[in-house]
A and B are shown apart, each in its own frame.
Chain A
Amino acid sequence: MSAESQLYDNAAARLRLKPSWRLIPQIDRDPKLVADVQQAHGRLLLCCAVGLLAMLFWQIGIDFSAAGLALACAYAPRYRRILIFLATLLLLCRNGFLIDHAFLGQLALNEGVADRIDQTSVSAAMLVVTFALFSGLLAMQGSGAIALRRPTLSLLLAFLALVVLTQASFMAGTPRVLLWSFLMTFQPYLWFLAYGLMDAAKERSPVWQHLSVFHPFWGATLTPFGKGLSYLRRFEAKTPEELAVTQLKGIKLAAWILVLAIGKICLDEIVHGQLRLPLFDDNLLQYLAGHPQPRLVGWASVVVFFVDDLLGMTVFGGVIVATARLAGFRLLRNTYRPMESATLAEFWNRYYFYYKELLVDHFFYPTFVRYFRGQRRLRMFFATFAAACVGNLLFHFIRDIHFVGEMGLWRAVVGEQSHAFYTFVLAISVGLSQMRRAPQPAQRGWLRGRLLPCLWVAGFFCLIHIFDAPLDREHSLWQRAEFLFYLLGVTT
């Protein structure tokens, strides 16, 4: 069985629930279609289908235009690497290399140096410095430098040390603005560099090829979708037939995502437009302002928020993966039937696959192979805790690093309390879930083996979201706990 099967869908395989019809036909399994797509007329048809999908996505506010670049990369295999590099560069240029210029502009004003600093020139200089640094580090990897033996740890320590340095009084004025400019230029690529350094330690590749997948053109957040170069190579179509199958899978996924995106719009319109159910964030704010909605409305908003979040994540990740597949990379889906998860660990795997992989690759495995090697359960639990709590917390702290510049380090750290609680509960729960192992559904029947565990998992993540959303630094742990107590009927 091959990559596309996503066999972490083992539960479904056990149940043998194979529908006799499909909303989206399995075009990738039709030998005639696969053969046709390798011919010129088939490719033309595929391009038309991509164009049609891009137009339909555009109608509902989703940008699928990178699919055009993906097709260009796919059909020029000899030049695929350089085309990926150029496509990535093009989109990064369009997006200002993902630098938060508004934050830097405000910082320069606050420091009283806005009139002395040309923000555009500083950003350009920092880009040169940052990418020269990336290139140097990637080229040096494997040289035996102590800091590069554990690249993630070194990167995180260096980044956080510089963040602390921004708070020093002697950095006031221009030095602080320059340091923040460097950090804000570096930050969007931190995890890409971490994967790049891991890859570079294993096999030598030209530095520009590593850089070509730093925020690749098919899309990403701070989380790399497709990890680094070596992972992508494993999923790259090697033959015309593999390319055809991969692209058909991309079309199939894009069509399914379109259906889900329309479903999400309809859900939002019905629930929030017609039924006027407040958004979860509004519900929380109204409660904190002393105007709580009825409990039933509160619960409904929590559940709808959870469903909406699942749909949003599926659509967001699906567009990225579909685009990568059209470029010839048969990536696994980011979100895959999360509601079928029978354990907390399984949900985490199915909800945001590439983020979970990031935490596993950079926190779980390094911890697991080093600590408590003689104590099986403690070893597993500790590694899970390192990933789900420490890694999760660090990732979000770095993602939202602008809060440090806006609020100061201490307030930004204290403001993390609710999210720290969220990651702590999540880590303990997932750790226990990992240690228990999933019971065999076949032995327990559909109700006890499937439905109830799935409902428990969904209920857990529904509730824990209260401490995670909205992910700001304004609402304290206690305020969110009060809201939960209110929903549970503990307080009025």
Chain B
Amino acid sequence: MTTTERPEVRSRMRHYITQRLIMKGDSSPLSDDDLLFTSGRLDSLDAVELIMSIETDYGINFSDIGFDLTRLDSISAIAGLVQQPSAEPA
């Protein structure tokens, strides 16, 4: 596991989320600050897929850091979560 640079995290997350949106028939543009869950573009099922992806790719344990969906609600928020020291694995 390595600490990924923010642009790379953003790029990977944007790709991942865009793919999920396309699967759902949503091909609208996606910016880094667009709301994903509170806007209804993604649902709870997408949230769990995203959680599992972040856990696997970045070694984050959501039960340790306290789960809060708003921290996954945009690409920027996810990048911030992945980059913050408390979220990084020891």
Contact = CB atoms under 8 A, between A and B. Distances in A.
Interface in B7-32: 23-26, 28-29
A345 interface: yes
Nearest to A376: B52
B48 A6 contact: no
A365 B25 contact: no
A454 to B, nearest CB: 16
Interface stretch (A10-18, A50-58, A154-162): A10-18
Name the residue in A201, A365, A370 with the highest tally of chain B Cβ atoms < 10 Å from its Cβ: A365
A434 B40 contact: no
Contacts, number: 67
Interface stretch (A208-216, A229-237, A285-293, A393-401): A229-237
A129 to B, nearest CB: 30
A251 to B, nearest CB: 21
B26 to A, nearest CB: 5
A448 to B, nearest CB: 17
Given A13-B25, A235-B38, A365 B45 contact: no
Given A368-B48, A376-B52, A383-B48, A1 B28 contact: yes
Contacts of A234: 35, 38, 70
B57 to A, nearest CB: 14
B40 A7 contact: yes
Given A349-B43, A376-B52, A369 B38 contact: no
A368 B24 CA distance: 23
B41 interface: yes
Contacts of A369: 51, 61-63, 67
A367 to B, nearest CB: 10
Interface string B41-69: 10111011001100100000111001111
B44 to A, nearest CB: 5
Interface in A226-270: 230-231, 234-235
B36 to A, nearest CB: 10
Nearest to B34: A1
A492 interface: no
B45 A202 contact: no
A365 B37 CA distance: 14
Contacts of A5: 39-41
Contacts of A8: 40, 43
A347 interface: no
A183 interface: no
Secondary structure at the B interface, as helix, strand, loop or mixed, is loop
A184 B85 CA distance: 45
The number of chain A residues touching the other chain, given as a range, is 20 to 34
A365 B62 CA distance: 10
B68 A202 contact: yes
A433 B17 CA distance: 22
Interface in A345-389: 345, 349, 360-361, 364-366, 368-370, 373, 376, 380, 383
Interface string B63-86: 100111110000000000000000
Given A2-B39, A230-B70, A234-B38, A10 B48 contact: no
B51 A345 contact: no
Contacts of B47: 365
Contacts of A370: 63
B58 to A, nearest CB: 14
Given A5-B40, A230-B70, A369-B51, A11 B25 contact: yes
B38 A1 contact: no
B54 to A, nearest CB: 11
A332 interface: yes
A290 to B, nearest CB: 45
A11 B38 CA distance: 19
Given A364-B44, A366-B67, A368-B51, A1 B25 contact: no
A365 B34 CA distance: 22
A373 B44 CA distance: 17
Given A3-B38, A3-B39, A7-B39, A434 B45 contact: yes
Nearest to A230: B70
A374 B7 CA distance: 29
Nearest to B66: A201
A202 B77 CA distance: 14
B45 to A, nearest CB: 6
B26 A10 contact: yes
Nearest to A12: B25
A332 B38 CA distance: 9
A360 B44 contact: yes
Given A7-B24, A10-B25, A231-B38, 7 more contacts: A13-B25, A13-B26, A202-B68, A368-B48, A370-B63, A373-B63, A434-B45
Q: Which 8 A-B pairs have the closest CB atoms?
A: A14-B25, A10-B24, A369-B62, A1-B28, A13-B25, A10-B25, A7-B41, A369-B63
25 contacts: A1-B34, A1-B39, A1-B41, A3-B35, A3-B38, A13-B25, A13-B26, A201-B66, A202-B68, A202-B70, A231-B38, A234-B35, A234-B70, A332-B40, A345-B45, A364-B44, A365-B67, A365-B69, A369-B51, A369-B62, A369-B67, A373-B55, A373-B63, A383-B48, A434-B45
